[in-house]
Structure 1
Amino acid sequence: MKQAVTTLTFRTSGRGLTDITQAITDWQHGKGIQEGLLTLLCRHTSASLLIQENAAREVRSDLIDWLDRVAPEGPHYAHDEEGPDDMPAHLKSTLTGVNLSIPVIDGRLALGTWQGIFLAEHRRIPHSRQVALHLLGM
């Protein structure tokens, strides 16, 4: 069994989805693991990870719009130390999740044809976000 670990840093441009598939794939390819499992963890409570369609950009904007409707900004939250988008960002992160597990088959991530890995920024302003990766296999 082999394993490899790293932490990658991504700069977001504010609320939205950042496609991080290529950075993850580039790192994974150099590890020599043909069969295994890649786990990812977003190390933040106001950002998250998703596997989502990578072809139609409207999917991304529709998803962000839906999350804004489910967890709207407003004065109805007790937690607002970092502004009105603070608590809604935590709720969105809870809904979408901070970790992913992706099988590696024949040396490649077993993503579907139209799937990409996205870092979801739930805050309005740009942030630097860390994603921890652990690859285990042979």
Structure 2
Amino acid sequence: MNYWLVKSEPESYSWDDFVKQGKAIWDGVRNYAARNNLAAMQLGDQVLFYHSVVGKEVVGIAKVSHESYPDPTIPEDPRWVVVELEPVAPLPKPVTLQQIKAEPLLQNIQLIRLSRLSVVPVSGNEFECILALGHAQ
């Protein structure tokens, strides 16, 4: 199993919107590196849902429910792909970017190193560390 982090601006599409929908086609990615990450996602992979711009925090866990296929919003351009995601659970306590930057185990997380990408891989240890931070009282 692989682990990922996807970003969404909560004013455009929030965790609550995602939960209400029950699943989502993750589209609109127009960066080649982020596109390659989408294409690498496999059925059942775990995904951290991150609110970018406003909040800047990991707020929930999702899973890949359908592997990549051509982006239906632009059928004339086969370079771009989408995946389908389903919400699994909110984090009991959101994990802020400040907490992530302060955590020694997360110093190499791509959320920080490649901050402009909207889809990044996360190691198993990084994923577990963020879950632990999200469950800390």
> TM-score, with normalisation over the residues of structure 2?
0.27
Question: Which has the higher Rg, Structure 1 or Structure 2?
Answer: 1
> TM-score, with normalisation over the residues of structure 1?
0.27
Query: Higher helix share goes to which structure?
Result: 2
